[in-house]
Chain A
Amino acid sequence: MDRVVELQLWQMAAAYIFVVMLLFIARIRGISREKEILISSIRMTVQLILVGYILDYLFNNINPLNTIVVIVVMEAFAIHNIIKRTKEKLSKPLKKIIALSMTFGTLASLIYFLLAVINISPWYDPRYFIPIAGMLIGNSMTGISLGVTRLVDGMDSEKHLIESALMLGATPKMATKQIVDNAFDSAILPTINSMVGMGIVFLPGMMTGQILSGISPVTAVSYQIAIMLGILGSVSITVILFVQLGYKTFFNEEKQLIENE
């Protein structure tokens, strides 16, 4: 680790020249984005510094309770984010399904990943637990967000076809198969695509970080492969749970489409 260049404060400050540059360009071109640029730069800085200190604290105070609190906060934040980011109006049962599939899907794959794949001990070791949980939850969040939008849009725009299928004696499952499949497909597509470009088009953030902090590229790569597969698993489990349970919330027990009033 002796080759690692510790960034000095002034070096970090030097990187802000890029923000100044962008502000300058925006000013000259008359693009009124200064406020957003400033706010997002400041938010990024403050949030990361905070996270740095929090992680530092957690790594020095290793106990299961801390780890559990962190994962609960992460899940809650992710679920809140999915619901807030969706423009469509979501029914209460659907929100519950989002929370349920997010929690269950990410936790199941996280536990498998930590215990069977990496085999960490103790199980709550924050140095592994937290970053890996973050990656699984973050990617699953993006996946479900896409799935939610697709499902809700589809149920709305194809209402007539769904109803016509019901009239012919289709079960809700048959009537919505196309929409459910589409939602699943569009939710996992980004994850699949990102695997294709991996290593060629871009170096994933986690690996870059590890390499910069002095770990051998080969070790970094093997972690990256494992985590990519973990992400794939977590996204698929959460999304399949969501669509399989989610479409049902649009029907009542009499197999009728629920009217939203």
Chain B
Amino acid sequence: MFKEVKYKDILNIKHLSIKKNNITCIVGESGSGKTTLLRLLNRLISHDHGEIFYHDQPLSQIDPVKLRRAVTMLPQTPATFSGSIKDNLLIGLEFAERPLASDNELYELLKRVKLNKELDQDAAKLSGGEKQRVALARVVLMNPEVLLLDEPSSALDEDTEHIIIEELVNYTRKRGKTLIMATHSKKVASQFSDQMIEIKDGKIINGKGV
């Protein structure tokens, strides 16, 4: 939940609440502040006015590293760490200091993001869209409470996008997760979201569907 939140002169939100266990899409033209909003929720940047609450607790009172392990973000440009696909999938769990997953689970995961690749393949040689799906799979593997996805399907063709997002939505619903996703695709937003937030010039102009 947001209250009177300001970040520099980029975002200015009077009031916004994002529901738990829901799928929320953030839409708005390029440069409107979608990424900035997600980064605030991940506490990668700090708001300089007002307060953001997570489970009724002000963000500023939660340990940032703990918060990020529960409210995990996928950046707009997916990151590929040096090493194999396997390394890239497991690195999230390593960062969160959690037990690693077995190869079987990883293959299962790759199947879910429609990647037909060997785990020991060098991740640097993947295509842009494939890297994006590896990065997405990495976040899913971490199984966080809240997934903050910044345009998770921007590098995918329309068909693959549909399959992946649908898979993601099913996963969210089944596991009772909260999904907050910035997207350029009106189609995705209107088809899958419980709540749609539209941002323009850093202001919420539409928060329908609550």
Contacts and interface: CB of A to CB of B under 8 A. Distances in A.
A168 B65 contact: no
Given A174-B95, A255-B65, A256-B64, A167 B44 contact: yes
Contacts of A167: 42, 44, 68, 72-75
A165 interface: yes
A148 B72 CA distance: 32
Interface stretch (A57-65, A72-80, A156-164): A156-164
Nearest to A254: B64
B59 to A, nearest CB: 10
Contacts of A255: 64-65
B68 A166 contact: yes
Contacts of A254: 43, 46, 64
Interface in B76-98: 77-79, 81-82, 91-92, 94-96
Given A160-B75, A163-B75, A255-B64, A168 B45 contact: no
B139 interface: yes
B142 interface: yes
A171 interface: yes
B138 interface: yes
A164 B91 CA distance: 11
Given A167-B73, A168-B91, A161 B79 contact: yes
Interface in B113-156: 135, 138-139, 142
B34 interface: no
Contact of B139 (A161, A168, A170, A175): A168
B6 interface: no
Contact of A256 (B44, B77, B96, B139): B44
Contacts, number: 64
A169 interface: yes
Interface string B51-69: 0000000000000111011
A160 B77 contact: yes
A166 B44 contact: yes
A169 B46 contact: no
Contact of A171 (B65, B75, B77): B65
A256 B46 contact: yes
A166 B68 CA distance: 7
Contacts of A174: 94-95
Q: Which of A164, A170, A254 has the most CB of B within 10 A?
A: A164
Q: Which of B46, B69, B73, B79 has the most CB of A within 10 A?
A: B79
B95 A161 contact: no
Interface string A123-161: 000000000000000000000000000000000000011
Contacts of A178: 82
Nearest to A161: B79
Nearest to B64: A255
A169 B72 contact: yes
Nearest to A174: B95
A256 B72 contact: no
A168 B96 contact: yes
Contacts of B95: 165, 168-171, 174-175
Nearest to B95: A170
Nearest to B142: A168
Given A168-B91, A254-B64, A256-B64, 4 more contacts: A165-B95, A168-B69, A169-B96, A255-B64
Closest 8 CB pairs of A and B: A164-B79, A169-B69, A170-B95, A167-B73, A169-B68, A255-B64, A169-B96, A168-B92
26 contacts: A160-B75, A163-B44, A163-B75, A163-B79, A164-B75, A164-B78, A165-B81, A166-B44, A167-B42, A167-B72, A167-B75, A168-B68, A168-B69, A168-B72, A168-B92, A168-B95, A169-B66, A169-B68, A169-B72, A169-B96, A169-B142, A171-B65, A171-B95, A174-B94, A255-B64, A256-B45
